[in-house]
Chains A and B, each alone.
Chain A
Amino acid sequence: MTTVNQLGAPTDQFGSAANHGAGPPGPGMAPAGNTPARLEATDVSAWFGSNKVLERISLTMEPGKVTALIGPSGCGKSTFLRILNRMHELIPTAALSGSVALDGVDVYGPQLRVTETRLRVGMVFQRPNPFPSMTIAQNVLAGLRLSGTRVQNADDLVQECLERAGLWRETRNRLNESGVSLSGGQQQRLCIARSLAVRPRVLLMDEPCSALDPISTGVIEETIRKLCHDVTIVIVTHNMQQAQRVSHNCALFLLDGEGMPGHIVEAGPTTQVFDDPRDPRTADYVHGRFG
């Protein structure tokens, strides 16, 4: 797997972060870089304490494609998303079975540290959360500073990431203002730019537009469409139209009842899930007949 760097900067620029304290990378270990990776979840079940919240989820998120996770609230979409980059481990009682593989490497295995996993599998949250103590430019570079990566031409990287996130035009003259001086939609795009700066191979988005107005949502969807050539995107959304607009593949999560674990009812190409679903529950859900 070769690392392609758009700026022509030395390719080991991010390798140093990837190997940070872990010695040379093992064979088959996925480096951080600019190519989208395949993310494969196999038989993932999850618990919070003794409460099982996910039941044997198997889903392949294809490289360079946008995969949408849809379903009613509380059915485990966000939990599943956070399992993909080990963010769910922040909850002390969380437990897991099954495996998640990034280009064939188990992210829960010994080959990848948790920080390395998160460096490769970035995340954008529901509410925009730029760092208030940093300027716009510092926010973009925050991931590199936080992972201890040296960056040679920081200005170019800031510009590149803001351009990819569709924010450069609005912020080029105010890079030294605080990140929280931006509007909500701009803050969310700043968070996307911040995630892109560490060159993740997968980007997880947890309802990234639910706190935004329709215009900002449109801008972010446009950003997603542009990004998916460089990075595999997994997006959780409650908005059926959004799922249809941006995603190539789609997975519907449902609960069988109160207190039951969530599971995948149907997964496949978005057009098929929406236009020709195999499961009647899928047809009911995507056409708004329940949920």
Chain B
Amino acid sequence: MSSVVDTAAQSAAPDPATRIDRPHGRPVVDSGAALELVGSLLASVAAVWLVFTVAGLSAPFGLGLCSLIGFVVLYGVVEWRLHGILHAKDRLATLYVWLGAGIAFVPLAAIIIYVLVKGLPVLASHFPHFLTGDMSKAGPAEPVTAAGMSAAIVGTLEQVGLATLFSVPIAVFTATYLNEIRGWFSLVVRTVVDSMTGTPSIIAGLFIYLLWVYPRHTNGPSGFAASLALTIMMLPIVTRSAEEVLRIVPGSLREAALALGSPQWRMILRVVLPTARAGLVTAVILGIARAVGETAPVLFTAGGASKMNWDPFHGQQSDLPIQIYQLIFSPSVNGVREGWGGALVLVLLVLTLFVLARVVGSGRRSGSRSRRFAFVGRRQVDP
């Protein structure tokens, strides 16, 4: 009992010298506000369900949509009556933002979940073989165990890798030109880059087919040809995003470099590009993400193959989009299942590439580098 009194006395009159400041906890959720939210939702669902049942309607989507609209209206009215119009507007605006984010997130999550549900059983039940084997023994009548994605994985990695190798230097040079040199010609270049962004991917495939695959008819389609088509797809995307990134490098840094007696090319190489490094990596990731999933340009140019082909320069090569395309349209149930497995492999591959690129892009000179310290609160002056 006495100890309780002591603590009470201490908290009532704390000694300023020994008092420890503690941050306030997070504001407690207002149970009244939560009640209003949940209550409005339940009331709306119940009312709409009642109407649908009485009217004999059976439409789950319509029920959901009507409930949602009813909920928003009801919630707004409740807040208005209880707390006034200003509060109601604030709550409704918050609700709209959350709803919008939720609605935007739904299709994204749905795709990932659907691919997982369809593909995971195939990948898990034939785990090592589905990644290591190729499709040479698989056929419509064969079981899933005969199938493997290795040829497609190798093809995708080689084709996208080559395309990245070709497009990234050109794109970064072009972005540098557009942003650092300028002049009348940059208007022309920008227009061309913009119209390239809108080029249908099948045109890129057709272009490379006529330029490279068809004239060398004896050589035929190859992984290299596919990488050329993918380069065309990647170039404008990487260029435009790299340009945006270079544009936000502060002009004061360029001035500082020039005032130190730097020629322009060294200023770009040593100051502008390193400052924009993290953003440039993001630009490259955007380009890779676009290229990995492209089907139309590689259909013409890589041709697809059931056997493993390590050489991107000779012979037809498979890749994941082609493989998925062929399997999903195959007449056998097993083929379709393999296709879903392939889709999951593609999603996982993209994820791996993203993580890798992030690590390479921001972590190489770890610790003291740009992103970690750029936004850390400034330290006090030590005069």
Do B378 and A118 touch (CB < 8 A)?
no
Expressed in whole angstroms, the minimum distance between the Cβ of A68 and any Cβ of chain B is: 20
Q: Which residues of A contact B253 (CB under 8 A)?
A: 129, 131-132
Answer whether residue A194 sits at the interface, using C-beta atoms and an 8 A cutoff. yes
Answer whether residue A116 sits at the interface, using C-beta atoms and an 8 A cutoff. yes
Q: Which residues of B contact A1 (CB under 8 A)?
A: none
Decide yes or no: A185 and B381 within 8 Å by CB, A87-B258, A131-B275, A180-B374 being known contacts: yes
- Stretch in contact with the other chain, from A5-13, A47-55, A144-152: A144-152
Do B257 and A183 touch (CB < 8 A)?
no
- Stretch in contact with the other chain, from A120-128, A245-253, A256-264: A120-128
In the complex, per-residue mask of A2-39: 1 if CB is within 8 Å of any chain B CB, else 0: 00000000000000010000000000000000000000
Expressed in whole angstroms, the minimum distance between the Cβ of A93 and any Cβ of chain B is: 14
Q: Which residues of B contact A131 (CB under 8 A)?
A: 253, 256-257, 271, 274-275
Q: Which residues of A contact B263 (CB under 8 A)?
A: 115, 147-148
B368 interface neighbour in A85, A118, A176, A218, Cβ under 8 Å: A176
Do B257 and A142 touch (CB < 8 A)?
yes
B interface SS class: helix
Interface residues on B, range: 20 to 34
Decide yes or no: A122 and B260 within 8 Å by CB, A183-B378, A184-B378 being known contacts: yes
Decide yes or no: A87 and B255 within 8 Å by CB, A178-B373, A213-B381 being known contacts: yes
A170 interface neighbour in B257, B262, B382, Cβ under 8 Å: B382
CA distance A156 to B165 in the complex (A): 41
Q: Which residues of A contact B261 (CB under 8 A)?
A: 17, 115-120, 143, 146-147, 198
Expressed in whole angstroms, the minimum distance between the Cβ of B181 and any Cβ of chain A is: 12
Name the residue among A85, A133, A177, A185 with the largest chain B CB count within 10 angstroms.
Answer: A133
A146 interface neighbour in B262, B372, B382, Cβ under 8 Å: B262
Do B369 and A178 touch (CB < 8 A)?
yes
Q: Which residues of B contact A185 (CB under 8 A)?
A: 381
Interface residues of A in 185-211 (CB under 8 A from B): 185-186, 191, 194-195, 198
Interface residues of B in 271-300 (CB under 8 A from A): 271, 274-275, 277
Count of interface residues, chain A, beta-carbon cutoff 8 Å: 46
In the complex, per-residue mask of B346-379: 1 if CB is within 8 Å of any chain A CB, else 0: 0000000000000000000001111011101011
Do B275 and A142 touch (CB < 8 A)?
no
Answer whether residue A181 sits at the interface, using C-beta atoms and an 8 A cutoff. yes
Answer whether residue A237 sits at the interface, using C-beta atoms and an 8 A cutoff. no
Do B252 and A127 touch (CB < 8 A)?
yes
Q: Which residues of B contact A122 (CB under 8 A)?
A: 259-260
Do A146 and B260 touch (CB < 8 A)?
yes
Answer whether residue B216 sits at the interface, using C-beta atoms and an 8 A cutoff. no
B271 interface neighbour in A146, A195, A215, Cβ under 8 Å: A146
Do A178 and B258 touch (CB < 8 A)?
no
Do B383 and A219 touch (CB < 8 A)?
yes
Q: Which residues of A contact B266 (CB under 8 A)?
A: 145-148
Do A133 and B277 touch (CB < 8 A)?
yes
In the complex, per-residue mask of A133-145: 1 if CB is within 8 Å of any chain B CB, else 0: 1110000001101
Decide yes or no: A147 and B262 within 8 Å by CB, A90-B255, A127-B252, A131-B275 being known contacts: yes
CA distance A148 to B262 in the complex (A): 8
Do A125 and B252 touch (CB < 8 A)?
yes
Expressed in whole angstroms, the minimum distance between the Cβ of A50 and any Cβ of chain B is: 21
Pairs across A and B, CB under 8 Å, 8 listed: A87-B259, A117-B261, A120-B261, A133-B274, A133-B277, A146-B267, A146-B270, A183-B378
**Extra A-B contacts (7), CB below 8 Å, given A146-B271, A178-B369:** A123-B259, A133-B277, A142-B257, A181-B368, A183-B379, A186-B381, A215-B383
Q: List chain B positions with a Cβ less than 8 A from chain A.
A: 250, 252-253, 255-263, 266-267, 270-271, 274-275, 277, 367-370, 372-374, 376, 378-383
